[in-house]
Homo-oligomer: A and B are copies of this chain.
């Protein structure tokens, strides 16, 4: 019983430390999944984002969007990508050193994001490997799926993140 309490306490301390320092390469494993909070996509923000970064009629104006390939106002894919990043940063993924993308093996938008959609993110670790050239770093391959309120994917990416290795003097029990 005392052991259980000690273990629970240690896990609590570790969770707190993890929230501050993040996960090292050694803390990631294939098949881990991480959820996220939710973000609602605002119609006016769709238009102002597009006016700054993707000024095309189907992202700016309802009437023009109806006659376009999207059949109605749709968020810029880059707006969806940026919102996905926000959800990912605030998710439980939390690599030590931050979320630093080295590039993507796959990246697509299977369906449009509409005003009022509520997005969330699911990420899954596909691969964990130490760097050959940088002994203090490694890479994890992560599939990130952005889903709308109907559970339909609106963005799917498979990306490689740079993750720090745990410093040699520090063991899991110390953090």
Contacts and interface: CB of A to CB of B under 8 A. Distances in A.
A108 B160 CA distance: 10
Contact of A53 (B57, B86, B101, B102): B86
Interface in A29-85: 49, 52-58, 68-69, 76-78, 81-83, 85
A56 B85 CA distance: 10
> Chain A interface mostly helix, strand, loop or mixed?
mixed
Given A69-B162, A82-B82, A77 B101 contact: yes
**Residue with the greatest number of chain B CB neighbours at <10 A, chosen from A55, A78, A89:** A78
Interface residues of A, number: 32
A71 to B, nearest CB: 12
A54 B109 contact: no
A19 interface: no
Interface stretch (A9-17, A92-100, A116-124): A92-100
A28 interface: no
Shortest 7 CB-CB distances between A and B: which pairs? Answer: A103-B108, A53-B82, A104-B107, A78-B82, A56-B98, A54-B85, A53-B86
